């Protein structure tokens, strides 16, 4: 039972780290639950950050 709780908490943590990434919170959270939190962390490290609209506007005006 305790292992299941730790598994879900680590998956939630990976989801929170992925908020500004390509798949977002839900993508990394469910990916971590479906596979393992280790695989979720690897996916998180390998993914790109999402460019915000404000930074895109600044870059295009330069």
Could you tell me which residues are beta bridge partners of residue 52? Answer: none
pLDDT of residue 51: 79
d(CA 32, CA 21): 14
pLDDT of residue 10: 95
d(CA 27, CA 43): 10
Instruction: Note the pTM of the prediction, 2 decimals.
Output: 0.75
pLDDT of residue 62: 63
Structure tokens at 21: 């990434």
pLDDT of residue 52: 72
pLDDT < 50 stretches in the chain = none
pLDDT of residue 56: 60
pLDDT of residue 33: 93
């Amino acid at each position: 039972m305790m292992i299941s709780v730790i598994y879900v908490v680590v998956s939630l943590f990976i989801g929170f780290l992925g908020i500004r990434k390509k798949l977002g919170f839900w993508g990394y959270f469910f990916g971590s639950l479906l596979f393992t939190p280790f695989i979720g962390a690897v996916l998180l490290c390998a993914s790109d950050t999402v460019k915000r609209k404000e930074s895109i506007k600044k870059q295009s005006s330069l």
